[in-house]
A and B are shown apart, each in its own frame.
Chain A
């Protein structure tokens, strides 16, 4: 008797950029998964031969949703190359910019892109459906509308500091381009309080203080019982009804390059850099990052550090299926994003959730739902501190070296982001970007280990291969950003098995 086998290639939207997921389904379960970015923009080559400062204009254009994250990584890479440390007041302005970008991204991703699936007719017989329709339906859901307004306010903060969002270049090696005045900081403070009100009234339906006290799954359940109309409660209810507590597990470790730099010592960050296997956290060393090309269309046999990285194309390579290189830490795949940040902080709630459910879809997405409640606190702190240092310098002129190399590490909304730059004769000769999606969307490596979201799909049950909704939830819980995977491309001519 032959097994029922379906091969699907599903173009997945509501992610940033183009993503195709190729899966093989046997008896309604995914047995093989390949993730393929379908757009190649060659950013690393676009930067070659350009003036080093041009990276501040070009790398934000890698990604319209995390342009400030790329800007900051580019500026840090040049600071590392030139040996300059930005003054504390500049770090506060940078922190406000990056936290604003990440917070609006989390909110738009969850309330405009993730939850809208549950308003799809596919779920018409579920009890949550009418409510999901009302709140999240595309272009008209009431919470989608409110979130659009709230995120516009948050983005005004970046515009006040840097002129516009997306695509500004106010962060430069040595600091930022402008002093910020009291009236601007006070306006930013007003916007933050407005945002806090939206979070407390519309999203969490409770004070942030009470929310921050949740330190276990039991406490979370009590909180849900007390605030049944909170978005946490609704997401949890929907997650239970759609099996998200059990899908999407990778079992892989977590990586973060750190987030929210300490103004007085920007080599440290309030959310620490590190690698965690889910139980134990170790210090992070960027020298342990390697890229492996076993299943990518490049020649090479040993995994290499980004500085040693070669891009020697071999399109005829047997077994290769992508232009994404498999990135690893100390030889293992790792996942990055808000959940990784909570793990770096040994957050009691998430340590408990991982213990009970593993890195399931629900746990990964809940980290994104809760992160704004943490970030607003850092932002208010940065504004208060900046107000105390109004006349401090915001820029130290670096000595631009003719020959240098540097690493810029930081956090985008989707997780760990790194830029590696080499300069010769005052021009960029090599530029490597490893984005969070390169970590999460890696192909298999030499040890046959799948990348995190490929791994997360294995074993997943698909009810309707015409609309593999379950797959979308798992993948979107990683918040993929395909425009960021700068050398992602599928050049295979494939069969598309559905919809023809």
Chain B
């Protein structure tokens, strides 16, 4: 199985992140026999050799198994795409051309999946098959790869290395990838960030932080999106050791289609002291009653913030 990695409107953060894969990424590639045709941060072939490679793929002389795209598709200014060029042409043209040739396409990170950073601005960044939560994006709603699959979305800012490992392994082993309505892998993303957070006990009893460096839950005041964001950050830890919410940094909802939200981070949008956005499927009246009772039942050790997080 071969792989071509393309970087477009992004920060290289997804590449930096996958290098942290808990096995050794290079060993993993070799173990499952992935041949990396091109990766902009790692390959050493010359610009000319790279041109030849692209030509071969476009002329169907070389099969392209997996096309990984990191970063959004830059359409600015005014739809021209000239804010991101390759050989003096908009890079989006190369993306469109390669997309037709790939057996599978993987959107690596939130920018490639949904637009992400620069999707609300003059950069006019869009995701490969979504713009925020709206299906379509750059390649269009009807687009399918050579294997008749939509673009597989692996959101996250950055992507967690395990998300990529998991997908490449599934493709290699011809396993069916169950896709959600956002075309993410339903196995992998079927966790909230909240699950496994070490602040859970504070959350249960509504003992909430109002400022940094406190002990408590960050959902009611600090803008934490852990309960409303689908990502296994507290199941598969970051750099094998931790997560933002465990460390006291609110979840910014970076796997969500609306990331980076157009309203402030670090504060929760409230209605009379309760978050505007509640965990999925929760009834507001019941939730309010449950939270008040929980707060009344809170043990002293939590009220005194004696418990570590």
A40 and B84 form a contact (CB under 8 A) = yes
A112 and B42 form a contact (CB under 8 A) = yes
B242 and A395 form a contact (CB under 8 A) = no
> Which single residue of chain A is at the shortest CB-CB distance from B29?
A139
B86 and A38 form a contact (CB under 8 A) = yes
Residues of B within 8 A of A119 (CB): 44
With A40-B83, A156-B241, A161-B247 as contacts: A499 and B48 at CB distance below 8 Å: yes
A57 and B260 form a contact (CB under 8 A) = yes
With A50-B264, A498-B47 as contacts: A163 and B213 at CB distance below 8 Å: no
Residues 81-92 of B, flagged 1 when their CB comes within 8 A of A and 0 if not, give 011111111000
Answer yes or no: A371 CB below 8 A from chain B CBs. Answer: no
With A16-B41, A57-B260 as contacts: A42 and B122 at CB distance below 8 Å: yes
Answer yes or no: A148 CB below 8 A from chain B CBs. Answer: yes
Residues of B within 8 A of A469 (CB): 46
Residues of B within 8 A of A156 (CB): 239-241
Q: Which residue among A16, A144, A161 has the maximum number of chain B CB atoms within 10 Å of its CB?
A: A16
Using a CB-CB cutoff of 8 Å, which residues 170-220 of chain A contact chain B? 170, 172, 174-179, 181
Using a CB-CB cutoff of 8 Å, which residues 101-116 of chain A contact chain B? 108, 112-113, 116
- Minimum CB–CB distance from B226 to chain A (whole Å) comes to 12
- Minimum CB–CB distance from A470 to chain B (whole Å) comes to 12
- Minimum CB–CB distance from B79 to chain A (whole Å) comes to 14
B118 and A42 form a contact (CB under 8 A) = yes
Q: Whole-angstrom distance between the alpha carbons of A168 and B266 in the complex?
A: 13
Residues of A within 8 A of B89 (CB): 493
A159 and B238 form a contact (CB under 8 A) = yes
- Minimum CB–CB distance from B40 to chain A (whole Å) comes to 5
Answer yes or no: B17 CB below 8 A from chain A CBs. Answer: yes
Residues of A within 8 A of B44 (CB): 14, 116-117, 119-120, 138
Residues of A within 8 A of B27 (CB): 145
- Minimum CB–CB distance from A146 to chain B (whole Å) comes to 9
With A18-B84, A483-B12, A494-B88 as contacts: A164 and B24 at CB distance below 8 Å: no
Residues of A within 8 A of B16 (CB): 64-65, 165-166
B122 and A483 form a contact (CB under 8 A) = no
With A177-B248, A397-B211 as contacts: A41 and B9 at CB distance below 8 Å: yes
A489 and B264 form a contact (CB under 8 A) = no
> Which single residue of chain B is at the shortest CB-CB distance from A481?
B12
B26 and A395 form a contact (CB under 8 A) = no
> Which single residue of chain A is at the shortest CB-CB distance from B109?
A64
A64 and B19 form a contact (CB under 8 A) = no
Answer yes or no: A287 CB below 8 A from chain B CBs. Answer: no
Answer yes or no: B274 CB below 8 A from chain A CBs. Answer: no
- Minimum CB–CB distance from A96 to chain B (whole Å) comes to 13
Q: Whole-angstrom distance between the alpha carbons of A102 and B20 in the complex?
A: 15
Answer yes or no: A45 CB below 8 A from chain B CBs. Answer: yes
- Minimum CB–CB distance from A158 to chain B (whole Å) comes to 7
B12 and A152 form a contact (CB under 8 A) = no
Partner of A170, one of B42, B247, B254: B247
Partner of A492, one of B14, B88, B243: B88
Residues 53-82 of B, flagged 1 when their CB comes within 8 A of A and 0 if not, give 000000000000000000000101000001
A61 and B11 form a contact (CB under 8 A) = yes
Answer yes or no: A385 CB below 8 A from chain B CBs. Answer: no
> Which single residue of chain B is at the shortest CB-CB distance from A170?
B249
- Minimum CB–CB distance from B52 to chain A (whole Å) comes to 7
Answer yes or no: B36 CB below 8 A from chain A CBs. Answer: yes
Total number of A residues with any Cβ neighbor in B under 8 Å: 88
A467 and B48 form a contact (CB under 8 A) = yes
> Which single residue of chain B is at the shortest CB-CB distance from A164?
B238
Answer yes or no: A149 CB below 8 A from chain B CBs. Answer: yes
Q: Which residue among B29, B212, B246, B267 has the maximum number of chain A CB atoms within 10 Å of its CB?
A: B212
A163 and B247 form a contact (CB under 8 A) = yes
Residues of A within 8 A of B254 (CB): 167
- Minimum CB–CB distance from A22 to chain B (whole Å) comes to 11
A152 and B36 form a contact (CB under 8 A) = no
Residues of B within 8 A of A177 (CB): 212-213, 247-249
B242 and A41 form a contact (CB under 8 A) = no
B242 and A159 form a contact (CB under 8 A) = yes
> Which single residue of chain A is at the shortest CB-CB distance from B156?
A167
With A41-B118, A160-B242 as contacts: A166 and B43 at CB distance below 8 Å: no
Using a CB-CB cutoff of 8 Å, which residues 227-260 of chain A contact chain B? none
Q: Which residue among B19, B30, B239 has the maximum number of chain A CB atoms within 10 Å of its CB?
A: B239
A38 and B121 form a contact (CB under 8 A) = no
A167 and B13 form a contact (CB under 8 A) = yes
Q: Which residue among B24, B40, B237, B246 has the maximum number of chain A CB atoms within 10 Å of its CB?
A: B40
- Minimum CB–CB distance from A73 to chain B (whole Å) comes to 15
- Minimum CB–CB distance from B22 to chain A (whole Å) comes to 8
Residues of A within 8 A of B122 (CB): 42, 45
Answer yes or no: A382 CB below 8 A from chain B CBs. Answer: no
Q: Which residue among B17, B248, B267 has the maximum number of chain A CB atoms within 10 Å of its CB?
A: B248
Residues of A within 8 A of B46 (CB): 120, 122, 466-467, 469
Answer yes or no: B117 CB below 8 A from chain A CBs. Answer: yes
Residues of A within 8 A of B (CB): 9-14, 16-18, 38-42, 45-46, 50-51, 53-54, 56-58, 61-65, 67, 108, 112-113, 116-117, 119-120, 122, 138-140, 144-145, 148-149, 151-152, 155-156, 158-170, 172, 174-179, 181, 393-395, 397, 466-467, 469, 483, 489-496, 498-500
Beyond known contacts A11-B87, A13-B41, A499-B48: 11 more, CB 8 A cutoff: A9-B88, A45-B122, A57-B266, A61-B11, A67-B13, A139-B26, A159-B240, A164-B242, A169-B249, A175-B212, A397-B212
Q: 13 A-B Cβ contacts within 8 A?
A: A11-B87, A14-B44, A39-B9, A39-B74, A54-B266, A65-B13, A108-B19, A113-B42, A140-B26, A162-B247, A167-B158, A176-B213, A491-B83
